[in-house]
Amino acid sequence: MASKVRLYVEHPLGEGQSVPLSREQAHYLFGVMRLAAGDVVSLINSVDGEWDAEVVEAGKKGGVLVCSAQTAPLQMPPDLWLLFAPIRKERTAFIVEKAVEMGAARIMPVQSAYTQSANRIRMDKLQAHAVEAAEQCGGTYVPPVDDLAKLERVLAEWPAGRHLMFCDEGMAGRSAALPSVLAAPCAILIGPEGGFSPAEREMLQTATFAHAVSLGPRILRADTAAVAALTLWQQAFGDWQ
């Protein structure tokens, strides 16, 4: 049997709860996936876990589902943020998708000195990529994707108590063991293809919350570096243990 279609909705889920569908959702379920009244889908909303819901009304422009039973509780990822400098469009979408699959709680695109012209990046689509990734990977939580913010500003307003795993290409070749201070709450920082500027590196080296780490002997592309850093952190401190 094919696995159930999973759908993220911005609506409370609970026993007997009816959930109205937007035009896009109706198009997806009934036009693309060819579902009809009586079929059952899986719903998530980042709050109530995963629920089975039956199609009770299926139309071209809308529809209604009714929740029957919870099939999984809400599982929050560990308190880990991913900060990254957006790169070319497909690779930025890739980073967002992988961050959701790997288990990041918040995704923060940051503009650094060597970030490619940010206005060519479709920031509005990034949250939709996070939703799709959560639907596809069995997640019950969709991490928020923040609007693009200047790295300098984000560092200046850094919250007390959270450490920053500064992935520093200048550390390439050193041991990739993570210091225990990087346990949650934590944030990972990945630079753009051009790396960090000398001023940024200096700012990061003097910030008490930032800890420079190596991702092995080779220089990774930013998208690879994001996945590698998330893997290292999850393995050391996260929910993979």
Query: Quick one: which H or E segment has residue 153?
Result: helix 151-156
Q: How far is CA 83 from the centre of its chain?
A: 10
Q: Does 168 bind ligand SAH (CB under 6 A)?
A: yes
Contact flag: residue 214 with ligand SAH (CB under 6 A): yes
Pairing mode, strands 50-58 and 40-44: antiparallel
- Cα 125 to Cα 27, 48, 93, 121: the distances in Å are 19, 25, 8, 9
Contact 79, 105 (CB under 8 A): yes
User: Which residue of this chain has its Cβ atom nearest to ligand SAH in the complex?
Assistant: 191
Contact 81, 108 (CB under 8 A): yes
Does 94 interact with ligand SAH (rule: CB under 6 A)?
no
What is the CB neighbour count within 10 angstroms for residue 24? 9
Sign of CA dihedral 119, 127, 187, 88: negative
Q: How far is the CB of 188 from ligand SAH (least distance, A)?
A: 9
Distance CA 135, CA 25 (A): 13
Radius of gyration over alpha carbons of the chain, in Å? 20
Considering the complex, what minimum distance in angstroms separates the CB of residue 83 from ligand SAH?
10
According to CB under 6 A, which one of 215, 227, 230, 232 is a site residue for ligand SAH? 215
DSSP conformation class of 27:
I
Residue 51 vs 196, nearer CB to ligand SAH: 196
The region of 25-33, 102-110, 140-148, 189-197 touching ligand SAH under the rule CB under 6 A is 189-197
Q: Is 113 in the site for ligand SAH (CB under 6 A)?
A: no
Q: Is 203 in the site for ligand SAH (CB under 6 A)?
A: no
Q: Which of 185, 219, 235, 239 binds ligand SAH (CB under 6 A)?
A: 219
Binding of ligand SAH by 191 (CB under 6 A): yes
Whole-number Cα distances in Å, 100 to 21, 57, 158: 24, 31, 23
Asked whether position 196 contacts ligand SAH by CB under 6 A, the answer is yes
Answer yes or no whether residue 200 interacts with ligand SAH by CB under 6 A.
no
Select 43 or 108, whichever has its Cβ closest to ligand SAH.
Answer: 108
Q: Is 231 in the site for ligand SAH (CB under 6 A)?
A: no
What residues pair up with 163 in beta bridges, in sequence order?
186
From candidates 110, 222, 230, 232, binder to ligand SAH by CB under 6 A? 222
Residues that bind ligand SAH (CB under 6 A): 167-169, 171-172, 190-191, 193-196, 214-216, 218-220, 222, 225
